[in-house]
Amino acid sequence: MAPVEWFDDLSIGMRFRSPEVKVTEADIKRFAAEFDPQPMHLDDEAAKKTLFGGLAASGWHTAAIAMNLAVQIRPFGPHPLIGMGVDGLRWTLPVRADDVLHLEGEVISLTPSKTKPQGIALVKWTMLNQRGEEVYTFTPIAIVPRRPQVS
């Protein structure tokens, strides 16, 4: 597959896969202490009494880890990942300490701008754990430049 450099190089159905990353208990508690200080993300015993049945990563920690994996993939080649927003953000299973996560992506929509030299690319990203279970999905609304026209 030729490397992606511009919006024009993307095609529907194109797939991406990230490296793996391990989430530690220390990571989970550190993120939660700063951004989501609730019992199920901070304290093992207190977490057992919640809907999660044990310590689980903040959903926003999961989201941040997924962003880091997407950046590593460089789905738009040299262009940064710039999103106007996200559709279809769903946390489907808890992320636990020592889970090994990776990200898979598929291009599901490509819409060229009618007025600017760019397009909107939708990649549906799915994060999976070491058992192949889907834990998180999201579809950023990304802006990608079009290949410059030679006149």
Q: Are 126 and 104 in contact (CB under 8 A)?
A: yes
111 is an interface residue for a second copy by CB under 8 A: no
Q: Per CB under 8 A, which region of 9-17, 66-74, 105-113, 125-133 contacts a second copy? A: 66-74
Residues 6 or more apart whose CB falls under 8 angstroms from that of 54 comprise 44, 47, 48, 94, 96
Enumerate residues 132-151 that contact a second copy by CB under 8 A.
Answer: 143
Chosen residue from 19, 25, 78, 86 binding a second copy by CB under 8 A: 86
Q: Report the C-alpha gap between 145 and 101 in whole angstroms.
A: 30
Can you tell me whether residue 49 is helix, strand or coil?
Answer: coil
Quick one: 11 or 117, whose CB is closer to a second copy?
117
Chosen residue from 11, 19, 22, 37 binding a second copy by CB under 8 A: 37
Query: How far separated are the first and last CA of the chain, in Å rounded?
Result: 27
Q: Per CB under 8 A, which region of 9-17, 63-71, 104-112, 121-129 contacts a second copy? A: 63-71
